[in-house]
């Protein structure tokens, strides 16, 4: 099985894990780690898959999840361009992206009264 297909299966599993046990964006964490390791070749596709799965399972509009994920991802990418590439910096940026994702999802849900 290719690494892309394996990552998609992992992404779906992490989305289900997020909805079942602990409300942390595990899929976003996986996407950010994939970006750090492999680059940005399929990143938008992964964001779309994560947003679609989470939107369908959580009964949140897919476009709100997609918008929050894109905002968090590009905040992470922008900060990575400015800050030094160290392990601690990457971990802090991943945590900041997760926090941004949660706040963005709440903000967009309240803003559009969904």
Between 33 and 114, the higher pLDDT residue: 33
Confidence of residue 23 (pLDDT cuts 50, 70, 90): confident
* Residue 113 confidence (pLDDT) above 80: no
pLDDT (tens digit per residue) in 57-93: 888 899 999 999 999 999 999 999 999 889 999 999 9
Please report the DSSP string for 35-91 in residue order: HHHH-SSSHHHHHHHHHHHHHHHHTS-HHHHHHHHHHHHHHHHHHHHHS---HHHHH
**The pLDDT value given to residue 1:** 65
**How far from each other are the two terminal CA atoms of the chain, in whole angstroms?**
39
Gap between the Cα atoms of 43 and 96, Å rounded: 19
**The pLDDT value given to residue 69:** 95
Gap between the Cα atoms of 27 and 33, Å rounded: 10
Per-chain mean pLDDT for the chain: 89
């Amino acid at each position: 099985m290719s690494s892309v297909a394996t990552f998609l299966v992992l992404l779906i599993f992490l989305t289900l894990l997020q909805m079942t046990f602990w409300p942390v964006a595990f899929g976003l964490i996986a996407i950010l780690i994939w970006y750090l390791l492999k680059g940005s070749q399929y990143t938008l596709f992964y964001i779309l898959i994560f947003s679609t799965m989470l939107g369908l399972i959580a009964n949140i509009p897919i476009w709100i999840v997609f918008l929050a994920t894109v905002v968090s991802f590009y905040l992470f990418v922008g900060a990575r361009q400015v800050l030094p590439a160290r392990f601690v910096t990457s971990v802090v940026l991943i945590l900041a992206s997760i926090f941004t994702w949660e706040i963005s999802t709440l903000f967009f849900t309240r803003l559009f009264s969904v």
